[in-house]
A and B are shown apart, each in its own frame.
Chain A
Amino acid sequence: MSITEQVEKDFSTLESSKENLGLFLQKGLPTKKNELWKYTNLERFWQEFDLSKQQKADLNAIEKDENFNHIFFVNGAFLPAQSDLEVQSGATELTSLKHELKELLANESVFHLVESQTQNQYLLTLEGVQEKPVLIHNFYTSEHAKHSSAHLHVLAKANSETTIIESHTSEDTAESFINNAVSFLVENNARLSFIKTQELGEQSVQVQNTRALVKRDGQFESFTVDAGAKLSRNNISIRLDGEGANCAAHGLYVLGDTQQSDTNSFIHHNRPHTESSQLYKGIMNDKSHGIFTGLIRVEKDAQLINSDQLNKNLLLSKGAHAHSRPQLEIYADDVKCAHGSTTGQMSDEELFYFESRGVPRERAQKLLAQAFAYDVVLKIKNKTAREYAQQVLKKNFKNLKVE
């Protein structure tokens, strides 16, 4: 059975949107012929998952850190009883928001697949200044989940200010295929900072579509910390759609074994006086593979643009590799754009400096890798959220076996 046949059969038992399913079936999974999927063969990972299994599960003991407002999802389904904030579910509330977000590019077939699942469509509405960051827990169990798909919409009302952390964790043995989306509408003068931490078990695969539409004087920041999963793909698409709007898209991937992380960012300057900044860093060990493709597009009428993009990769072993493709498409003339990428090994001279001071090589490698990662994390402005991200990193550096 081909993949599309399998999807058609499995999804016939689920509540689904015929229109989106149709679009997916028409396009199929992206292949290598699609430039944006050149290095990630989704088909190879896909076949290992049984799409028909997507079941609800509950969480047992939950410990809630008081510094956050918590929201819980298990296998893509919202748990209202345990959550501190309300998330509306069902597609009806979302019709107008979805319509507005249509402006965002969404022609990826994986995105149609998320949209075809009508049961896990959610809306979180944010107003005013939120003192505590919102911590969204996404947990995937090994028993129930094979395939998980959810779409969270976040409406940041005018003048609101929020930091959201979205964590993805799973049971170690979980073999999940997670295909999800998070879409933001950042209204005039609203500020939203979104930190995604991914620490899934080594048998999991995640494709996440993060999309944001940013209105006048709005600010959107996206941070991605990728440490787990055997394959993780992040599609990030941000459109600066009002004067004075600005965004940042930063990320860090820390990989070992045969892990792969593939980031595809698209920053669209659609109005004058907009700014964007990107810093993506990868640390790759063993035979892991980090990929970054970043496109900045500046429309003809979007003058006075400031935009920078940097991708830096650190390879810790001979078998690890990195691909980096910064791209610009500029149709306006008054534009300041800087982009670049570097890939290198750890400096032997820096390592020897540590060693000459009594620090074993392995420890020195860890410290230098941490130092490399540190400046991305420092860009998270909210202290509580920054410390949270640091903890995640620290935990994962412990697992980073360096050669």
Chain B
Amino acid sequence: MSLLKVGNLKAEVEGNEILKGINLEVKPGEIHAIMGPNGSGKSTLSKVIAGHPDYELTSGELEFNINGKMQDISELEAYERARDGIFLGFQYPIEVPGVTNIGFMRESFNALCEHQGAELMGEEEFRDFVKTKLPALNMSEEFLDRAVNEGFSGGEKKKNEILQMLIMNPRLALLDETDSGLDIDALKTVADGVNSMKSKFNAFVLVTHYQRLLDYIQPDFVHVLYKGKIIKSGGKELALELEKKGYDWLIEESKQ
């Protein structure tokens, strides 16, 4: 049974076609890595799956497993997709002045509770819950009371994305370059966060430029995206090969 199914998907933004026929199937328990040169459409793909309103699906399928059935999610709003278990870790996390980090997370968490018909969590109880997640990420409580991402360093922003992911506990996590800009210790911390959440019920799609992350998180599949198409898929050895040889040979190969 699959969790996410993307079939011959085409998408455009402001009239420019960016995704030109993507096929991708993700099953529960799997980890997929998406690599590819700058501007190839990796972030676009993750935003399209998460439901960013600027991107228009022009053709193809986008299905997600909801209540045990594959359902077309292309018409669902982003917030509905999030409530159904899709999480997007942003390549460039947004700063939100005037909204505290903990307030933002409680709002998100309670949105899920509401959707699942569970009781909403009060401020204190929620703070205690979030505090249990902080040590593993090496974050201090001070981050909870600051405005969302405001003045956070690049690495702190990425860790904050992982914290949000752990709190939302999604079935599908799309992590867009969560490893970029992290020092070695932080990279391990982030990887530990992913590994601690991994189960046979959920799946991860990791967008990355570096084989390094994949030393810590073992991918089942590696895909190479180029000019809006997946030009090659393979196992984790593909990432090692790319690290050595770059993308040119693949791009040549795909032209033939």
- For the complex, is B108 an interface residue (Cβ under 8 Å from A)? yes
B107/A367 in contact, CB under 8 A: yes
Task: Say yes or no: A357-B98 contact (C-beta < 8 A), given A348-B54, A367-B107.
Answer: no
**Does A80 lie at the interface of the complex (its beta carbon under 8 Å from any beta carbon of B)?**
no
Q: Which residues of A lie under 8 Å from residue B118 when comparing CB positions?
A: none
Stretch of A12-20, A95-103, A369-377, A394-402 at the chain-chain interface:
A369-377
**Number of A-B residue pairs at CB separation under 8 A:** 72
Q: Does B168 reach chain A (CB closer than 8 Å)? A: yes
Is B94 in contact with A349, judged by CB distance below 8 angstroms?
Answer: yes
In whole angstroms, how far apart are the Cα atoms of A355 and B111 in the complex?
Answer: 10
Is A356 positioned at the interface, with any CB of B under 8 Å from its CB? Answer: yes
Q: Which residues of A in the span 368-387 have a Cβ within 8 Å of any Cβ on B?
A: 368, 370-372, 374-375
Determine how close the nearest CB of chain B comes to the CB of A10; give it in whole angstroms. Answer: 47
Measured as residues with beta carbon below 8 angstroms from the partner, the interface class of chain A is 20 to 34
Of all chain A residues, the one with the shortest Cβ separation from B99 is: A371
Q: Which of B37-63 contact A (CB under 8 A)?
A: 50-54
Nearest-neighbour CB distance to chain B for A364, whole angstroms, equals 8
A354 proximity list for chain B (CB < 8 A): 79, 104, 107-108
Stretch at the interface among B21-29, B67-75, B82-90, B134-142: B82-90
Q: Residue B115 at the A interface, CB < 8 A? A: yes
**A3 sits at the interface (CB 8 A):** no
Complex contacts, A374 vs chain B, CB 8 Å? 98
A residues 261-278 in Cβ contact with B at 8 Å: none
Q: Would you call B94 and A358 a contact (CB within 8 A)?
A: no
Main secondary structure of the interface of A (DSSP, over half): helix
CA distance A126 to B15 in the complex (A): 66
Q: Which of A321-370 contact B (CB under 8 A)?
A: 347-350, 352-361, 363, 367-368, 370
CB-CB nearest in chain A for B82: A358
Q: Could you tell me the distance in whole angstroms from the C-beta of A380 to the nearest C-beta in chain B?
A: 16
| Chain B 159-172 interface mask (CB, 8 Å, partner A; 1/0) | 00000100010000
B167 nearest in chain A by CB position: A357
User: A358 contacts B108, CB within 8 Å?
Assistant: yes
With A348-B54, A350-B94, A350-B96: A356-B83 Cβ-Cβ less than 8 Å: no
Interface string of A102-130 (1 = CB under 8 A from B): 00000000000000000000000000000
User: In the complex, which residue of chain A has the Cβ closest to the Cβ of B107?
Assistant: A359
Is the pair B164, A357 in contact by a Cβ cutoff of 8 Å? yes
Known: A350-B96, A368-B96. A357 touches B82 (CB 8 A): yes
Query: Is the CB of B9 closer than 8 A to any CB of chain A?
Result: no
B5 vs chain A, min Cβ distance (A): 20
A159 to B: closest C-beta gap in Å:
36
CB-nearest residue of chain B relative to A372? B98
A50 CA / B63 CA spacing, docked (Å): 64
Q: Answer whether residue B97 sits at the interface, using C-beta atoms and an 8 A cutoff.
A: yes
Known: A355-B51, A357-B107, A359-B108. A375 touches B98 (CB 8 A): yes
Number of B residues near A (Cβ < 8 Å) is 28
Residue B112 is within 8 A (CB to CB) of chain A in the complex:
yes
Residue B78, interface by CB 8 Å: yes
B123 at the interface (CB under 8 A from A): no
- The reply to whether the CB of B77 lies closer than 8 angstroms to some CB of chain A is yes
Distance in angstroms between the alpha carbons of A357 and B99 in the assembled complex: 14
**Set of chain A residues within 8 Å of B168, measured between Cβ atoms:** 357-358
Once bound together, how far apart are the Cα atoms of A357 and B115, in whole Å? 12
- The residue on B at minimum CB distance from A352 is B52
- Nearest chain B residue, comparing its CB with the CB of A357: B108
0/1 interface trace, chain B 128-154, chain A, CB 8 Å (1 if under): 000000000000000000001000000
Decide if A352 touches B78 in the complex (CB within 8 Å): yes
A371 CB contacts on chain B under 8 angstroms: 96-99
In Å, the complex CA distance between A359 and B99 comes to 14
Kindly list chain A residues whose C-beta atoms are within 8 Å of the C-beta of B96. 350, 353, 368, 371
Q: Please indicate the chain A residues that have their CB under 8 angstroms from the CB of B107 in the complex.
A: 354, 357, 359, 363, 367
Asked whether B111 lies within 8 Å of A358 as measured between CB atoms, the reply is: yes
Rounded to whole angstroms, the CA-CA distance of A361 and B111 in the bound complex is: 12
**Are A355 and B54 also in contact (CB < 8 A) when A371-B99, A374-B98 are?**
no
Given that A355-B51, A359-B79, A360-B77 are known contacts, is A368 also in contact with B99, CB under 8 Å in the complex? yes
Given A352-B78, A356-B82, A360-B111, output 17 extra A-B contacts at Cβ < 8 Å. Answer: A353-B90, A353-B94, A353-B148, A355-B79, A355-B82, A356-B79, A356-B87, A356-B88, A356-B90, A357-B107, A358-B83, A358-B108, A358-B111, A358-B112, A358-B115, A367-B99, A375-B98
Q: Report 26 cross-chain contacts, Cβ distance below 8 Å, ordered by A residue.
A: A349-B94, A352-B52, A352-B53, A352-B78, A353-B90, A353-B93, A353-B148, A354-B104, A355-B77, A356-B78, A356-B79, A356-B88, A356-B90, A357-B79, A357-B82, A357-B111, A358-B111, A358-B112, A359-B107, A359-B108, A360-B111, A363-B107, A368-B99, A371-B99, A372-B98, A374-B98
| A-B CB proximity, top 9 nearest | A371-B98, A357-B108, A358-B111, A358-B82, A355-B78, A353-B94, A355-B79, A358-B83, A371-B99
